[in-house]
Each structure stands twice: as C-alpha cells, then as structure tokens.
Amino acid sequence: MRPPHQKGRPKYLDLLRIKLPITGIVSIGHRASGVFLVLSIPVWLYLLDMSLSSEQGYRTAQEISNGFLFTLMAIVAFWSLMHHFFAGIRFLLLDLDVAIEKEAALKAARLVFILEGISMVFVIGWLL
C-alpha cells in the first residue's frame, strides 16, 4: 500500500519531470532490456536455424548478420544483454546485502554502467 500522502510534497507524474536516481535508471533499464531481449528471441532463432540448415543457409545468415539493420538491432540487443547481465548481478548482490547502503549502492549502479560500456566497446568492435 501507498504511504499516506505528505502535504506540500511535489508529486510529479510527468515522466519528463521525474528525475530518477542512477539506481532507478539501472532498475527500469533492467526491465526494459529484459522485455526487449525476450521479444528479440525469434530473430536469434531464425538466424541460428538458417545458419545450421546448410552451407547456403550459413552464408545467407552471414550476409544478413553483416547487414546494416541487423547490426543496429544486434547493438541494441547486446547492449540490453550487457545491461541485464551486470544490473542482474548487482541485484543478486543486493539480495546478499552487498552494496546495500546508499553510498555503496550508488557506486555499484555506476559500476554497472561502466562495465556495460566497456563490454559494448568490445561488442561493437566485434560486430563492425
């Protein structure tokens, strides 16, 4: 249940005016990336199926995966995966009471973005 509303407290429901702390961005990003990853499953299965079907299929899958649209989608998908992975590890650690105090929590949230940034440099280098 919602706590009783305190008088005089600004209550913004305007998404553009709500300023989420970095921990909140990690959290909503975890949800959004999870949903995107689930919705992207057919693309990966389609390519995997094609790449294993025959020599010809393997080459076609290679051509598709070198295409611009696919590369763009793959970057978003890998970014989602990296965010989901590192943010997920942070949430697992929170369950173990690791980095649960405010300062440490903010540091850990920043670390999530740093690690996903570093891994994305490798992913983009590998994709392009």
Binding mask 80-99 for another protein (x = CB under 8 A): -----x--xx--x--x----
State which H helix or E strand residue 68 sits in. helix 68-95
**70 or 85, CB closer to another protein?**
85
- In the block, residue with structure tokens 């009471």: 97
> Is the Cβ of residue 6 or residue 62 nearer to another protein in the bound state?
62
Nearer to another protein, 38 or 121 (CB): 38
Per rule CB under 8 A, count of chain residues that contact another protein: 21
> Whole-number minimum distance, CB 38 to another protein, in Å?
5
Inter-helix orientation angle 22-39/68-95, to 10°: 130
CB of 59 to another protein, least distance (A): 8
- Each residue 15-54 as x (binds another protein by CB under 8 A) or -, in order, gives ----------------x--xx--x--xx--x--xx-xxxx
Give the tokens for residue 26: 């990690």
Task: Work out whether the CA dihedral 77, 40, 29, 15 comes out positive or negative.
Answer: positive
By the 10 Å C-beta count (0-12 exposed, 13-18 middle, 19+ buried), 114 is classed as: exposed
Binding pattern to another protein, positions 50-79, x when CB under 8 A? -xxxxx--xx--------------------
N-terminal to C-terminal alpha carbon distance within the chain: 49
